[in-house]
């Protein structure tokens, strides 16, 4: 019984991370005064490998998540979207044509919500694992640099640093994103810009302005429903491929960092005869209040098989009642109403979880930065010029402020209250076509906005992470150059006399 209760309470727990970087020990034939050449090490050094999950179900779900962000899936969805647009030239006046895109959008959005939730949690734990392993190896590197400084003296380290400045750049290099990745990132910078958000709301206001001229008719409502539904189909598929391309590129950068970092560790061990293994680093669990704990619980359930299973059950039930409702317009709207309302809540939750997870990740990389600065200062070595993050742009500051507001747990509660209000309104209207449109259009408009904000938040997180990783890589390369320059040093600094 206890194990059952534990299993029920486990989703959304946001556990801490304990990791130890693999220790790079010299081979038996290595001598203290002989440093292996980097060109021979790069072929054998362990880079970064994404750990496989133990459970088959978890691996299966992760494969689905990766597939949802693939180029093939993205391209197929765009082709289907354009096919619907061109088909509208002949059947635009058929009431089922706008309802169809609404239903497709609702179902796709529900499915992508589950994928995006899981994608978000996977990225969070992967990021913390990387931070912990870099910190773990950093503990050993700092210890061995103290030993090296004791061997050659402060002057020896300083002269090695000067010599390192004249050495050629390390053969380790950060990868360049592909053209396709750059194109996706460029489009993301446009969609996630605060100007695009202003443009989006301007179109909604313009639509509202035409309401009186159209007598607030159902067709007038269906027009905006079709537009926002098509937009959401695009944004959901785009956000999925954006995150996957970003994850692939970040993993390639991490692989380069791991290679140069492990080489630095190995060379220091050869020089200092250090045989002590790397120590574990513990990153504590994310602290949450009760409201936030409920939100993360829901998000974790949606990102698991439960969310997908629930969609399948509802979809089967919807098909089953089709004959009872004679497959009329109300029946077509019904599945869109359900998925749209759930999707509205998911939109609030996605932005909230993104904000909370990022708030716990970033301090770990700030800690790495601080520890590296302290190491360079203790060795009296000038550190490479850090890559700046342009935080002075108005668009960046507005986007950050907008993200903090939209990511607060109060906004999730407000979204839930809005859903209850829409359900009440539709019930008063006896779930007529107008009543169901009430439960379709506001959620579609608001969820579209939150998806745009999600891209805005992703752009800010991606920019910060790239700067973090580039700075880590440059500092590790500098330290490696110092050790290379110190190759063959005697136990004192007489070589530099």
DSSP string, 154-198: HHHHHHHHHHHHHSPPPS--PPPPPHHHHHHHHHHHHHTSHHHHH
Where residue 447 falls among pLDDT bands split at 50, 70, 90? confident
Positive or negative, the CA dihedral 334, 335, 340, 342 is positive
Q: What is the pLDDT of residue 344?
A: 84
Q: What is the pLDDT of residue 92?
A: 61
Where residue 489 falls among pLDDT bands split at 50, 70, 90? very low
Q: pLDDT, tens digit, for every residue of 127-153?
A: 999 999 999 999 999 999 988 888 877
| 274 and 268 Cβ atoms separated by less than 8 Å | yes
Length in residues, the chain: 497
Q: What is the pLDDT of residue 100?
A: 75
CA angle 262, 264, 267 (to 5 degrees): 105
Where residue 314 falls among pLDDT bands split at 50, 70, 90? confident
Work out the percent of the chain whose per-residue pLDDT is above 70: 86
Interior/surface letters 291-302, b for 16+ CB within 10 angstroms, e for the rest: ebbebbbbbbbb
Residue 121 above 70 pLDDT?
yes
Q: What is the pLDDT of residue 201?
A: 94
Work out the percent of the chain whose per-residue pLDDT is above 90: 27
Could you tell me where the beta strands, DSSP code E, fall in 179-323? 281-283
Residue 204 above 80 pLDDT?
yes
Positive or negative, the CA dihedral 411, 415, 416, 417 is positive
User: If you ran DSSP here, which 8-state letter would residue 55 be given?
Assistant: S
Q: What is the pLDDT of residue 2?
A: 62
Q: What is the pLDDT of residue 490?
A: 36
269 vs 26, more confident? 269
Single pTM value for the model: 0.86
Rounded to a whole number of angstroms, the distance between the first and last alpha carbons of the chain is 74
Mean pLDDT over each residue of the chain, to the nearest integer? 82
Q: What is the pLDDT of residue 91?
A: 66
Q: For the residues 456-470, what does the mean pLDDT come to?
A: 88
Where residue 107 falls among pLDDT bands split at 50, 70, 90? confident
User: How far is residue 116's CA from residue 360's CA, in Å, rounded to a whole number?
Assistant: 19
Q: What is the pLDDT of residue 167?
A: 47
Nearest partner of 25 among 285, 272, 374, judged by Cα = 272
Q: What is the pLDDT of residue 41?
A: 40
CA angle 90, 95, 97 (to 5 degrees): 50
Indicate the domain borders of the chain: 51-487
| 257 and 469 Cβ atoms separated by less than 8 Å | yes
Where residue 5 falls among pLDDT bands split at 50, 70, 90? low
Residue 330 above 90 pLDDT?
no
- Which residues, 6 or more positions from 436, have their beta carbon under 8 angstroms from its beta carbon? 330, 333, 334, 336, 337, 426
Q: What is the pLDDT of residue 395?
A: 63
User: How far is residue 204's CA from residue 199's CA, in Å, rounded to a whole number?
Assistant: 9
Where residue 373 falls among pLDDT bands split at 50, 70, 90? very high
Q: For the residues 217-224, what does the mean pLDDT come to?
A: 83
- DSSP-derived 3-state class of residue 490: coil
Nearest partner of 439 among 347, 314, 341, 329, judged by Cα = 341
Residue 300 above 80 pLDDT?
yes
Residue 296 above 50 pLDDT?
yes
Residue 249 above 80 pLDDT?
yes
Residue 154 above 60 pLDDT?
yes
- Which residues, 6 or more positions from 119, have their beta carbon under 8 angstroms from its beta carbon? 65, 69, 240, 243, 244, 247, 303
Q: What is the pLDDT of residue 185?
A: 93
Residue 485 above 60 pLDDT?
yes
User: How far is residue 351's CA from residue 61's CA, in Å, rounded to a whole number?
Assistant: 22
User: How far is residue 106's CA from residue 441's CA, in Å, rounded to a whole number?
Assistant: 11
Q: What is the pLDDT of residue 301?
A: 83
| 267 and 484 Cβ atoms separated by less than 8 Å | yes
Q: pLDDT, tens digit, for every residue of 163-202?
A: 665 444 556 688 889 999 999 999 999 998 888 989 999 9
Q: pLDDT, tens digit, for every residue of 32-65?
A: 444 444 443 433 446 787 778 888 888 888 898 8
Where residue 494 falls among pLDDT bands split at 50, 70, 90? very low
Where residue 4 falls among pLDDT bands split at 50, 70, 90? low
Q: How many CB atoms lie within 10 A of CB 28?
A: 5
Nearest partner of 138 among 42, 251, 260, 48, judged by Cα = 260
């Amino acid at each position: 019984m206890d194990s059952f209760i534990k299993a029920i309470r486990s989703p959304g727990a946001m556990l801490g991370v304990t990791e130890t970087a693999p220790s790079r020990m010299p081979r038996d034939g290595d001598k203290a005064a002989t440093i292996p050449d980097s060109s021979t090490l790069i072929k054998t050094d362990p880079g970064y490998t994404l750990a496989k999950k133990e459970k088959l179900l978890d691996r299966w779900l992760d494969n689905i998540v990766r597939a949802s962000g693939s180029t093939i899936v993205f391209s197929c969805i765009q082709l289907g979207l354009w096919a619907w647009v061109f088909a509208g030239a002949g059947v635009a006046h058929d009431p089922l044509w706008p309802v169809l895109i609404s239903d497709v959008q609702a179902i796709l959005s529900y499915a992508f919500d589950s994928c995006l939730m899981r994608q978000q949690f996977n990225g969070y734990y992967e990021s913390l694992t990387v931070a912990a392993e870099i910190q773990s190896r950093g503990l050993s590197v700092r210890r061995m640099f103290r030993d090296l400084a004791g061997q050659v003296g402060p002057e020896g380290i300083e002269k090695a640093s000067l010599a390192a400045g004249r050495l050629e750049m390390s053969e380790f290099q950060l990868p360049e994103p592909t053209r396709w990745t750059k194109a996706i990132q460029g489009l993301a910078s446009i969609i996630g810009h605060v100007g695009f958000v202003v443009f989006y709301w301007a179109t909604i206001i313009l639509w509202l302005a035409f309401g009186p001229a159209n007598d607030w008719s159902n067709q007038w409502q269906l027009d905006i429903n079709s537009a926002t539904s098509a937009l959401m189909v695009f944004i959901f598929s785009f956000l999925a491929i954006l995150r996957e391309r970003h994850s692939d590129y970040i993993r390639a950068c991490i692989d380069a960092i791991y290679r140069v970092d492990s080489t630095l560790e190995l060379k220091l061990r050869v020089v200092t005869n250090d045989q002590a293994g790397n120590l574990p680093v513990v990153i504590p669990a994310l602290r949450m209040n009760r409201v936030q704990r409920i939100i993360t619980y829901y998000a974790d359930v949606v990102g698991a098989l439960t969310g997908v299973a629930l969609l399948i059950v509802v979809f089967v039930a919807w098909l089953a009642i089709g004959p009872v409702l004679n497959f009329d317009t109300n029946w077509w709207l019904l599945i869109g109403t359900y998925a749209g309302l759930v999707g509205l809540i998911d939109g609030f939750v996605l932005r909230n979880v993104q904000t909370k997870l990022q708030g716990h990740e970033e301090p770990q990389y700030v800690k790495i930065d601080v520890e590296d600065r302290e190491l360079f200062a203790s060795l009296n070595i000038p550190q490479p010029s850090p890559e700046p993050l342009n935080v002075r742009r108005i668009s960046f500051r507005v986007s950050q402020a907008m993200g903090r507001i939209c990511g607060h747990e109060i906004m999730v509660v407000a979204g839930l209250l809005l859903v209850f209000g829409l359900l009440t309104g539709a019930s008063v209207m006896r779930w007529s076509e107008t009543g169901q449109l009430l439960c379709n259009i506001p959620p579609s408009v608001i969820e579209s906005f939150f998806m745009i904000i999600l891209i805005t938040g992703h752009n800010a997180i991606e920019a910060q992470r790239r700067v973090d990783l580039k700075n880590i890589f440059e500092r590790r390369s500098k330290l490696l150059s110092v050790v290379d320059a110190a190759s063959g040093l005697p136990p004192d600094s007489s070589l530099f006399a």
